[in-house]
Amino acid sequence: MEEKTVHVPGISCGHCVMTIEREVGEIPGVESVKGSPHLKNVTVRWSEPATWEAIQEMLAELGFPPAG
């Protein structure tokens, strides 16, 4: 299992977090997604078949690309 926390400057409210948690959480292999509108970050825990690339793509599609 892998885990990564990334800064997502586009998060501005709880609705943003709910959208991210719901959509990224539907990727097969994603174990958990936790976002914070105050810290503007997202922590994702996943295992196969999910990949970090697929998670990044989903965040970008949602309009919340990670910084850096």
Q: Over the stretch 10-42, which tens digit does the pLDDT of each residue have?
A: 999 999 999 999 999 999 999 999 999 999 999
Domain of residue 39, CATH code: 3.30.70.100
| Domain coverage including residue 42 | 2-61
25 Cβ contact partners less than 8 Å away, ≥ 6 residues apart? 32, 33
Number of domains in the chain: 1
Query: Is 40 part of any domain?
Result: yes
- CB of 39 within 8 A of CB of 66? no
CA 12 to CA 48: how far, in whole Å?
Answer: 30
Indicate the pTM of the whole model: 0.93
pLDDT above 90 for 68: no
Query: Is 32 part of any domain?
Result: yes
The model's confidence at residue 48, banded by pLDDT at 50, 70 and 90, is: very high
Query: Is 9 part of any domain?
Result: yes
Query: Which single residue is written with the structure tokens 């990727």?
Result: 27
